[in-house]
Structure 1
Amino acid sequence: MLHLFRMLLLAVHCLLASVLSLLLTLARPFHPDNSRLCARLYAWPALCLLGIRVEARLDSLPTPEQSCVIVANHQSNFDLFVLGRIVPERTVSIGKQSLKWIPFFGQAYWLAGNVLVDRGNPRSAKRALKITQQTLRQRTTSIWIFPEGTRSLGRGLQPFKKGAFQMAINAGVPIVPVCVSSYAGRLQLDRWRSGRVSIQALPAIPTQGMGSQDLSALMEECRAQMQACIQRLDRRLEANSG
């Protein structure tokens, strides 16, 4: 019963947060800090409603004066709430073109300055890649990407796609991995305290001087670091709950 009640409240909250986000972004369209503020509107109330406690170590996240590519593991739709809590200033994300058609949410997402990509259209994807690279080079704005390209749904860290890493190399900006403990399928939403999630930002991986020949090694290094960190976070949570 508690699970169902939470889902109903969450649906109402998401509708209200979408409307408020749309009003905010209409007032200052494409402002580079819109995305962070909208993410907070969704995240804070939702985490309270769901009974999820988030612990975060974020020393490695960029300051507003720095540009970087932030990569994070993607587990479920709840990432909007779990990770929305920690989105840094002047950070935008890359999302599917289809998001634009979700009432209120999609329009706010676009007006927040996020980049929409039609993954089935190579020309559109290349254009979006060019726009994001220009953003990284010319403005103190960072890009948030899920390199797996899809939700893992509790299956562990999935193979990475190369787009985020190619973008970082071309723009000459560092990659900052953000690791989230395994929570998909583990939350107990029928309890008041449904679970804890731990987040850690790893030290930036520099890309200055790298070329396309370094792409595979860069992807492998980043994925290995994230995999090891996620395992550490999971072990720590299990030890603390015992």
Structure 2
Amino acid sequence: MNDAAILLVDDEQSILELLMTVLHKEEYTNVDTAITGEAAIAACEAKTYDLIELDVLLPGRSGIDICPFLRQTTNAPILFLTARTTDFDKLTGFAVGGDDYITKPFNPLEVVARIRSHLRRYLASASLLASEAEPERLSGRASAVYDYGRFQVDEAAGELTVEQKSVSCPALVFQLLLFLCKNPNRIFSKSELYECVWGEESLHDDNTVMVHIHRIRERIEPDPSNPRYIVNVRGLGYKLIQNEARRTHSS
């Protein structure tokens, strides 16, 4: 039995029933549903979820509209489910906080595979942070902090600080930034970043990495349109510039 908490948000009852059936067969039993954006927000305020499947075309407030509100309460993966297939729609979903995009009609087994993949990474990351933080709390050992002057990345605490202020950072955005901090001044292609951070082949889906890079820049760059930390090397990929950055420790 898998006790990961999942929220399915869709106004089509047949889709909810189909996904519930397939998830239950895969032994995901802690699954809740909502049919409106307002109900989804209320559910996330009342309970902590490990993953959210969110339909874009909800009655009233759309999935795109409510995603930023969900991000105020959770860093869990959000998978958009929609009939819209244009790149603009996909980029919009990523820009407001989504982690994946599944188009209708869909194969329910593919949806469950995506859910399983995102849950594996998210729960593994949360478990790693907890296991690292607890020994440090008990033993007093120092934890690694990557200090770039304007911003600091605390690996064990899973925290991003920009100009002495804590900045909310979704799990995959934080993991991508942390990976770059661990490998400064090294160029990575989009596919390499996807494979290293997402843990699977990109299948030529460059948009996901591009959007997550943009979300990092919005948080750490003084001017995201003219980045000085995470730069694009034309034709090659991205790298995090290390000038006077230093790896320090916090007790």
TM-score by length of 2: 0.26
Larger Rg: 2
The structure where helix makes up a greater share of residues is 1
